[in-house]
A and B are shown apart, each in its own frame.
Chain A
Amino acid sequence: KAGVTQTPRYLIKTRGQQVTLSCSPISGHRSVSWYQQTPGQGLQFLFEYFSETQRNKGNFPGRFSGRQFSNSRSEMNVSTLELGDSALYLCASTRTSGRGDTQYFGPGTRLTVL
């Protein structure tokens, strides 16, 4: 079974631009969560989508947004990029919302903002 895929793997943008990242979950997984990982803050939760609905949101500004499509693929968008947005963005998928379900991570998109 194919794992979680994320595109692109690497991205370089300049301040003020916007970016869209894509995530395809494991086949059959309906929940997709997004995380930001930086050396200083570690892994921080951005938001979770299930059946095209955002169910949870972390403490990030409104510049960070996302959506999920009917095939469970998800995108996240960051507008008006800032230098501090440089990070590894990880997507994780889960089969259901059951208590014992494990999140499986994709390889991530490394975003560099210049």
Chain B
Amino acid sequence: GQNIDQPTEMTATEGAIVQINCTYQTSGFNGLFWYQQHAGEAPTFLSYNVLDGLEEKGRFSSFLSRSKGYSYLLLKELQMKDSASYLCAVRDLGYGGSQGNLIFGKGTKLSVKP
């Protein structure tokens, strides 16, 4: 089966660092994505990992361990505008030339407090 788990909610303080974990069990793996979604808006792409290790992009970093079925998103120097839901998504193996579907976790709602 397909299962992606991430915490439902997290709270952190402005200026701090927060790590959002994601564990997955999928029948195939073709990359892991993190998206940010503000309330009432569309998800926006944050990061992509297909190989083990850390990908850094400004204040955001994402880590992947394929053997453990584990990823995390690290947000540094938190700002109030980072209050949003963070979605972990695994792309499964496609067929017929397709890249595969994105299977999403239910998202982690992050609240940044002053």
Q: Hey, which bits of chain A sit against chain B, CB under 8 A? A: 4, 31, 33, 35, 41-45, 48, 50, 55-56, 58, 90, 92, 94, 97-108
Number of interface residues of B (CB under 8 A): 27
In contact, B98 and A100 (Cβ under 8 angstroms)? no
Judge whether B99 is part of the interface by a CB distance below 8 angstroms.
Answer: yes
In contact, B43 and A90 (Cβ under 8 angstroms)? yes
A12 to chain B, nearest CB (A): 17
Interface-forming stretch among B14-22, B44-52, B57-65, B68-76?
B44-52
Q: How many angstroms from the CA of A44 to the CA of B42 in the assembled complex?
A: 14
Q: What are 28 A-B interface contacts by the 8 Å CB criterion?
A: A33-B102, A42-B87, A42-B104, A42-B105, A42-B106, A43-B43, A43-B89, A43-B104, A45-B101, A45-B103, A48-B101, A50-B97, A50-B98, A55-B94, A55-B97, A55-B98, A56-B98, A58-B101, A90-B42, A90-B43, A97-B97, A97-B99, A99-B99, A100-B31, A103-B102, A105-B43, A105-B44, A106-B42
